[in-house]
Structure 1
Amino acid sequence: MVRDFQAEDLNRIMELWLETNIQAHDFIKKGYWQDHFDEVKEILPKASVYVYEDNGSIKGFIGLMNNYIAGIFISKDNQSRGVGRQLLHHVKGNHNKLSLKVYEKNQRAVNFYLREGFLVTEKQEDRENGEVEYEMVWSKNN
């Protein structure tokens, strides 16, 4: 079930954030994510966050800043089981347009967003780590 973020979710969500970033981005040094952990932990509660919970356990979450998807993070054991899709459809229901950035090398995520109706609108280099990333946009009118 998808529900709103609650303050007591923060530690579990940050575990998911770190684990899934390291797993999905093996082309970026682990330290990059560890170095940003405290910053994200401080900013995250200010975003619109929705969690997917099953039997009292958080399996994933999505974070938004207005119409920008900061990320969808799903526990390793729950990937490819529709959790990310349910979270994405939850936010699509409340927005006419959404955008995000995803690393080109994270092909699994790129393919997921393409299947979900997102289009690549820009290709650029992330100045912090030198990796190529896509800006992708979804619109109800697509």
Structure 2
Amino acid sequence: MVISIRRPRHDEGEQLIAIWCRSVDATHHFLSAEYRAELEPLVRSFLPEAPLWVAVNAHDEPVGFMILSGQHMDALFVDADRRGRGVGRILVEHALSQAPELTTNVNEQNEQAVGFYKKMGFKVTGRTEIDDRGKPYPLLNLACRKE
């Protein structure tokens, strides 16, 4: 699969929200249904203004995205149908090319994501008992330095 990274287009908002929904539904089984329902409107409100990078296939269709703020990757989501095909790796490699001392946070209960980040060379630098919204979903703080 050929993947390119680019900035989002203004007409891709719904596609990116759909990717977020499918990705979260496939990987965040630990979230309560109520909390998952709370998150979607929040994502819809901030995503259009976020500093996004979009992974696109050979047909220029979004298959994943990340939010990169300075040296911190705020989010990484890959369409559920594209997981395990290198999209996340390509996004992280792009992030490291922009931010050689990259940090991120990951839900501790998202074991697949934790394993992915460790495989990509991230190290755990800390842990919080709650997520960014004060909910009981522990976060691991991670850091990776481009070699």
Q: Give the number of equivalent residue pairs.
A: 141
Kindly indicate whether residue 133 of structure 2 is the aligned counterpart of residue 130 of structure 1.
Answer: no
Kindly indicate whether residue 133 of structure 2 is the aligned counterpart of residue 94 of structure 1.
Answer: no
Which of 48, 52, 57 is the matching residue for 2:55? 52
Which of 105, 108, 129 is the matching residue for 1:104? 108
C-alpha distance in structure 1 between counterparts of 2:30 and 2:98, whole Å: 34
Kindly indicate whether residue 42 of structure 2 is the aligned counterpart of residue 36 of structure 1.
Answer: no
Kindly indicate whether residue 74 of structure 2 is the aligned counterpart of residue 70 of structure 1.
Answer: yes
Alpha-carbon deviation of 1:61? 0.8
Helix, strand or coil at the partner of 2:98: coil
Is 1:60–1:83's contact at 8 Å kept on the other side of the alignment? yes
Which of 7, 10, 13 is the matching residue for 2:13? 10
Q: Which moved more, 1:41-50 or 1:10-19?
A: 41-50
* Uncovered stretches (5+) of structure 1, i.e. residues with no partner: none
Identity %: 26
Which of 113, 129, 138 is the matching residue for 2:117? 113
Is 1:99–1:135's contact at 8 Å kept on the other side of the alignment? yes
What CA RMSD, in Å, does the superposition of the two structures yield over aligned residues? 1.5
Return structure 1 stretches of 4+ with deviation > 6 angstroms.
Answer: none
* Uncovered stretches (5+) of structure 2, i.e. residues with no partner: none
Is 1:67–1:99's contact at 8 Å kept on the other side of the alignment? yes
C-alpha distance in structure 2 between counterparts of 1:85 and 1:60, whole Å: 11
Alpha-carbon deviation of 1:42? 2.1
Aligned to 2:29: 26
Helix, strand or coil at the partner of 2:22: helix
Helix, strand or coil at the partner of 2:30: coil
